[in-house]
């Protein structure tokens, strides 16, 4: 490959993410030799901040990094709508690691140690392809919207946290996004700073509980005396009552501390954006609002998990249409929300931000669609914007049991096309309706349904700009649509049949339920309960006894680790709810065993649990110290704990 | 659970594994027996019937040990099988009290 020397400003940029400075140096040399500009990041958070503010032609991603690992970082980057090719570099050589990296959104996987010539080939492949104008990645089925960069550097942010270690971590996170950051230990000190120089701060991000005055007390004083200062509060856990109280008292946002490095930034960005609104000219306001609303759209997992197949199409100009999907665990538990925020004024923009804020902070803890809509309705009623409202359909898909839970508020419900035994499709209408959120003070007018969906079914969700007859007519006109065995490509032909001239309120979500793959790995499910743990362990011991224990590993200890993971799922993940399932999947290969335990909870901070280590009180630490001692690798992804045991 | 009072020792012999599904009943029984026999100078856990111990079982054993220490009594485990010994080593019980069985501490 021949590269032409170009000035730095014109060079293509390549982001290198690796915690090892020697590796970064090596890759930087390969990048420089390809006449590209190298930007380095030593961890996932720094990488996200840089990916958010700069366009790269290629990203090299180390998978094993402290804190946010490469898998998680890639997932975040894809969720931000960034389609830059990502090449994973890792010492992980197992096939499933490679598969996981690709599933998370990497384009290629290169095992370490790194071969310089191979690196050059990769740069040539991707950068040259981009120079030739080819898309660096096949166009995804899902419409993606890139977020424009937001410059946080003019804003002075104060972190209020007593725990020194966590405070340092939050400061690093915020600094990585570009804020000018200071820190104090408690709210009294924060107020002292403001009293001494009211112009010294723009944003306060505070732990709810600090010694002396707490964050709510500080909030009241800041609102009275320094109304221009934005106040965000974080808590250890989601607490609906506390969150409502904080919003009532005028907090600009409240979220669990674990979201500080991701969704919370979006919340801060929205608040800063709102603060800038008065400076807009009247003519640009509408466009900017639409643009801002469009930025709030996200299609979640990409590529979608294999439990289902999802495609979405909305009219380009339809600001306010929001689609979010969320993978809750590895056993096929996903959530989808399709919403339309009425209007294109400031109030509707604010409601969009609040809506997404609630989704990001509450969804994990509130996976029941009807309950989620009730929480959102409660928050909207507190906002008191009677002219603004939201139509929403929320859906939970339990892929393991092929069970669909759906709740609607103001939306037209859904259509389910099921394949009959004769091979034809029958159409079932799922009643929607209910009242739009934000219009009604009570929560009892939300429609909800629960059903088992057979394989090869299609589900169509649509906003109120589309009538169900439109979908039915489109499918009747072209029955071959239903034989695609995928969701992508379904929406556009159907929208062609929609009302001519319709310019808004049209979002269609197509959801395909594939045939279950032949069960390659033993799996077991049980409803939460201690007896279930015993049964599951007996099942697992039979599976393991069939020669699946890697060399050098102890059968009893593997069962002990499994038992601890199941206890964690029952006690913490499912909070002993007898209606919640625990799923186990055992993957095995010669000298390799991976056990996945999934629950219906929100997952947990593995690093924090690993930091705790003592003989007793194991269950208080979710059994993680014991699991970690036995397994070679333990990972947590949503409600799934994976333990890897390798042969020696 | 079998209970024996031998000389000055209160011997507790659970007849099940020390696992989550059994632990609540066992805990209540153990506490009741310790309260019923304040004169015992030693608490002995007979592990004859115990093969599996999970973290709730670990908490129970540690709890009995701590209660014994708080009451100025000694505590030991006897008749431990090989699987119990493995778990005891894993959770470092040997640093707290003696365990006698197939492998002696």
DSSP state letter for A327: E
Q: Lowest-pLDDT range, A81-90, A502-511, A622-631?
A: A502-511
How does residue A274 score in pLDDT terms, banded at 50, 70 and 90? low
How far is it, in rounded angstroms, from Cα A186 to Cα A190? 7
CB A263 within 8 A of CB A361: yes
Q: Could you tell me the pTM of the whole model?
A: 0.59
Closest CA to A527 of A590, A444, A615, A600: A600
Give residue A500's pLDDT.
61
**What domains lie within chain A, and their CATH numbers?**
8-131 (3.40.50.2300), 156-274 (3.40.50.2300), 283-513 (3.60.40.10), 523-646 (3.30.565.10)
Gap from A307 CA to chain B (nearest CA, Å): 32
Question: With contact defined as beta carbons under 8 Å apart, do A594 and A587 qualify?
Answer: yes
pLDDT value of residue A362: 78
Contact check, Cβ <8 Å, A570/B20:
yes
Quote the minimal CA–CA distance from B37 to chain A in Å.
26
What are the tens digits of pLDDT across the range A174-212? Answer: 888 889 999 999 999 999 999 999 889 999 999 998 888
Do residue A615 and residue B96 have CB atoms under 8 angstroms apart? yes
More confident residue, A45 or A542: A542
CA distance B103 to A610: 31
User: Binning pLDDT at 50, 70 and 90, where does residue A615 land?
Assistant: very low
Write phi, then psi, for A132 (nearest 5 degrees).
-80, 0
Query: pLDDT tens for residues A595-610?
Result: 999 999 988 888 877 7
Are A303 and A103 in contact, with CB atoms under 8 Å apart?
yes
* Among A559, A615, A619, beta carbon nearest to B91: A615
Tokens for A380, please give them: 């909207």
List residues in chain A touching B: CB distance below 8 A.
530-531, 533-534, 554, 556-557, 559-560, 563-564, 567, 570, 615-619, 623, 626, 629
Contact B59 A557 (CB under 8 A): no
User: Using the 8-state DSSP alphabet, how is residue B95 labeled?
Assistant: G
Higher-pLDDT residue of B8 and A315 is B8
Among the residue ranges A98-107, A270-279, A315-324, A411-420, the one predicted with the least confidence is: A315-324
| Sequence-ordered alpha helix ranges (H) in A363-408 | 369-383
In chain B, what are the domain boundaries?
Answer: 2-101
When pLDDT is cut at 50, 70 and 90, the band that residue A101 belongs to is confident
Is the distance from CB of A33 to CB of A12 less than 8 angstroms? no
- Report the pLDDT value the prediction gives residue A493, as an integer from 0 to 100: 74
The CA-CA-CA angle for residues A518, A521, A524, to 5°, reads 105
Among A556, A614, A624, A629, pick the best mutation site for testing chain B contact (most B Cβ within 10 A): A556
Which tops the pLDDT comparison, A6 or A335? A335
Query: Considering the domain B2-101, what is its CATH architecture?
Result: 2-Layer Sandwich (3.30)
Complex ipTM, two decimals?
0.90
**Dihedral sign, Cα of residue B5, residue B8, residue B14, residue B19:** positive
Contact A533 B21 (CB under 8 A): yes
CB neighbour list of residue A274: distance below 8 Å, 6 or more residues apart: A346, A349, A350, A353
Each residue of A535-569: b (16+ CB within 10 Å) or e? ebbebbeebbeeebbbeebeebbbbbbbbbbbbbb
- For residue A113, whether the previous peptide bond is cis, meaning omega lies within 30 degrees of 0, is yes
Measured in degrees and rounded to the nearest 5, phi and psi for residue A196 equal: -70, -40
Which of A184, A188, A187, A194 minimizes the C-alpha distance to A164? Answer: A184
Contact list in A for residue B62 (CB cut-off 8 A) is: 615-616
3-state secondary structure A238-281: CCHHHHHHHHHCCCCEEEEHHHCCCHHHHHHHHHHHHHHHHHCC
At A399-409, the pLDDT tens digits run 888 898 988 88
Contact between chains at B59 and A556 (C-beta distance less than 8 A): no
B54, B56, B93 member nearest A560 (Cβ): B54
Chain A residues with CB under 8 Å of B26 CB are none
| Integer Cα distance of A556 and B52 in angstroms | 9
Give percent of chain A with pLDDT exceeding 70: 78
A514 vs A638, more confident:
A638
Asked whether the beta carbons of residue A626 and residue B55 sit closer than 8 angstroms, the reply is yes
Query: A69 is written with which tokens?
Result: 């690992």
Q: How far is CA A125 from the centre of its chain?
A: 30
Distance CA A588, CA A594 (A): 6
pLDDT one-digit tens code per residue, A443-474: 667 778 888 888 888 888 877 667 788 888 88
Share of chain A above pLDDT 90, in %: 20
Cβ of A567 within 8 Å of Cβ of B55? The answer is: yes
Give the pLDDT band (50/70/90) at residue A301. low
Measuring CA to CA, how many Å separate A14 from each of A42, A118, A151?
A: 14, 16, 21
* Chain A nearest C-alpha distance from B16 (Å): 12
Given the structure tokens 């384009």, which residue do they identify?
Answer: A107
The helix (H) or strand (E) run that includes residue A180 is: strand A180-184
C-alpha distance from B59 to closest chain A C-alpha (Å): 6
Strand partners, B50: none
Give the C-alpha separation, A469 to A491, whole Å. 14
**What is A27-83 written as a DSSP string?**
HHHHHHHTT-EEEEESSHHHHHHHHHHS--SEEEEES--SSS-HHHHHHHHHHTT--
R_g of chain A, CA atoms, integer Å: 25
Return the HEC string of A100-146.
HHHHHCCCEEEECCCCHHHHHHHHHHHHHHHHCCCCCCCCCCCCCCC
- Chain A: closest CA distance from residue B20 (Å): 6
Shortest CB distance from B21 goes to which of A530, A618, A623?
A530
Mean residue pLDDT across chain A: 78
Q: pLDDT, tens digit, for every residue of A523-579?
A: 999 999 999 999 999 999 999 998 889 999 999 999 999 999 999 999 989 989 999
Question: pLDDT-based confidence at A135, cuts 50/70/90?
Answer: very low
For the segment A34-51, the average pLDDT, to the nearest whole number, is 85
Inter-residue contact A110 to A87 (CB < 8 Å): yes
Instruction: From chain A, pick out residues whose CB is under 8 angstroms from the CB of B83.
Output: 556
Q: How far apart are CA A597 and CA B56, in angstroms?
A: 19
The pLDDT-based confidence of A229 (bands split at 50, 70, 90) is: very high
Nearest Cα residue to A85 out of A28, A145, A127: A127
Contacts of A564 in chain B (CB under 8 A): 54-55
Kindly state the average pLDDT of the residues B63-78.
94
**Using CB atoms, which residue from A531, A557, A564 is nearest to B55?**
A564
Mean pLDDT for chain B overall? 91
Q: How far is CA A48 from CA A59, A114, A130, A145, A173, in A?
A: 11, 23, 22, 17, 10
> Which residues, at least 6 apart from A593, have a Cβ–Cβ distance to it below 8 Å?
A544, A548, A549, A550, A553, A558, A586, A587, A644, A645
Containing H/E element for A337? strand A333-341
Could you tell me which residues come within 8 angstroms of residue A403 by beta carbon, excluding any fewer than 6 positions away?
A397, A450, A451, A452, A453
CA torsion sign for A98, A99, A104, A108 is positive
When CB atoms are compared, the residue of A556, A617, A618 closest to B86 is A556
Task: Determine whether A222 is exposed, middle or buried from the number of CB atoms within 10 Å of its CB (0-12, 13-18, 19+).
Answer: buried
Cα A42 to Cα A19: distance, rounded to the nearest angstrom: 4
Contacting residues for A467 by C-beta, under 8 A, at least 6 apart: A412
CB A313 within 8 A of CB A145: no
Which of A533, A570, A616 is facing B58, going by the closest CB pair?
A616
Least reliable range by pLDDT among A79-88, A261-270, A395-404: A261-270
In this complex, do A615 and B58 lie within 8 Å of one another by their Cβ atoms? yes
Contact B55 A531 (CB under 8 A): no
């Amino acid at each position: 490959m021949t590269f032409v020397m170009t000035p730095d400003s014109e060079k293509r940029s390549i982001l290198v993410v690796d915690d090892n400075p020697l590796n970064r140096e090596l890759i930087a040399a390969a990048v420089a030799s390809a006449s590209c500009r190298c930007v380095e990041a030593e961890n996932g958070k720094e990488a996200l901040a840089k990916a958010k503010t700069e366009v790269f032609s290629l990203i090299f991603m180390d998978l094993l990094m402290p804190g946010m690992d490469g898998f998680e970082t890639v997932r975040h980057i894809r969720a931000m709508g960034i389609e830059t090719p990502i090449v994973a570099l890792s010492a992980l050589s197992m096939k499933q690691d490679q598969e996981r990296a690709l599933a998370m959104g990497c384009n290629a996987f290169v095992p370490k140690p790194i071969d310089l010539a191979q690196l050059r080939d990769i740069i040539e492949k991707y950068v040259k392809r981009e120079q030739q104008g080819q898309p660096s990645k096949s166009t995804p089925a899902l419409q993606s919207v890139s977020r424009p960069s937001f410059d946080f550097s003019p804003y002075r942010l104060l972190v209020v946290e007593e725990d020194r270690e966590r405070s340092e971590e939050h400061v690093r996170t915020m600094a990585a996004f570009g804020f000018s950051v200071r820190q104090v230990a408690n709210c009294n000190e924060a107020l002292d700073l403001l009293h001494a120089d009211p112009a010294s701060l723009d944003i306060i991000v505070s732990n709810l509980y600090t010694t002396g005055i707490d964050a709510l007390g500080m909030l009241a004083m800041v609102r009275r005396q320094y109304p221009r200062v934005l106040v965000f509060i974080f808590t250890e856990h989601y607490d609906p009552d506390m969150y409502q109280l904080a919003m009532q008292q005028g907090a600009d946002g409240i979220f669990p501390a674990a979201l500080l490095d991701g969704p919370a930034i979006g919340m801060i960005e929205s608040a800063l954006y709102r603060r800038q609104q008065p400076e807009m000219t009247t003519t640009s306001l509408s466009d900017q609002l639409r643009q801002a609303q469009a930025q709030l759209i996200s299609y979640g997992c990409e590529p979608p998990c294999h439990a289902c197949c999802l495609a979405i199409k909305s009219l380009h100009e339809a600001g306010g249409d929001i689609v979010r999907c969320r993978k809750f665990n590895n056993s096929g538990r996903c959530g989808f929300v399709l919403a339309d925020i009425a209007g294109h004024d400031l109030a509707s923009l604010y409601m969009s931000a609040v809506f997404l804020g609630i989704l990001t902070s509450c969804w994990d803890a509130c996976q029941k669609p009807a309950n989620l809509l009730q929480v959102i309705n409660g928050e909207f009623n507190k906002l008191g914007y009677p002219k603004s409202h939201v139509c929403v359909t929320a859906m939970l898909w339990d892929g393991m049991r092929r069970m669909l839970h759906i709740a609607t508020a103001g939306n037209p419900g859904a259509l389910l096309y099921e394949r009959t035994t004769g091979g034809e499709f029958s159409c079932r209408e799922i009643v929607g309706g209910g009242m739009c959120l934000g219009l009604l003070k009570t929560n009892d007018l939300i429609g909800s349904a629960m059903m088992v969906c057979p394989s090869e079914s299609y589900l169509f969700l649509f906003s109120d700009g589309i009538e169900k007859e439109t979908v039915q007519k489109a499918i009747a006109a072209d029955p071959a649509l239903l034989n695609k065995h995928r969701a992508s490509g379904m929406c556009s032909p159907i929208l062609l049949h929609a009302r001519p001239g319709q310019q808004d309120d049209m979002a269609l979500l197509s959801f395909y339920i594939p045939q279950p793959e032949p069960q390659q790995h033993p799996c077991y499910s049980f409803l939460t309960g201690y007896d279930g743990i015993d049964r599951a362990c007996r099942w697992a011991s039979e599976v393991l006894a069939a020669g699946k224990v890697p060399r050098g590993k102890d059968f009893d200890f593997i069962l002990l680790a499994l038992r601890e993971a199941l206890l964690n799922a029952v006690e913490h993940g499912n909070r002993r709810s007898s209606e919640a399932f625990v799923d186990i999947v055992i993957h095995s290969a010669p000298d390799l065993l991976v056990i996945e335990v999934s629950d219906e909870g929100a997952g947990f901070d593995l690093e924090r649990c690993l930091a705790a280590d003592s003989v007793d009180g194991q269950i208080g630490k979710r059994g993680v110290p014991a699991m970690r001692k036995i397994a070679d690798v333990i990972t947590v992804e949503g409600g799934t704990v994976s333990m890897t045991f390798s042969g020696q | 659970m079998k209970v024996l009072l031998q000389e000055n020792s209160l011997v507790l012999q659970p007849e099940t594994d020390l696992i989550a599904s059994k632990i609540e009943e066992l805990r209540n029984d153990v506490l009741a027996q310790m309260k019923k026999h304040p004169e015992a100078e030693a608490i002995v856990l007979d592990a004859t019937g115990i093969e599996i111990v999970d973290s709730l079982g670990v908490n129970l054993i540690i709890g009995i040990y701590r209660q014994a220490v708080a009451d100025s009594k000694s505590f030991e485990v006897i008749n431990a099988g090989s699987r119990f010994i493995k778990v005891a080593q894993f959770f470092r019980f040997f640093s707290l009290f003696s365990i006698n069985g197939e492998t002696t501490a």
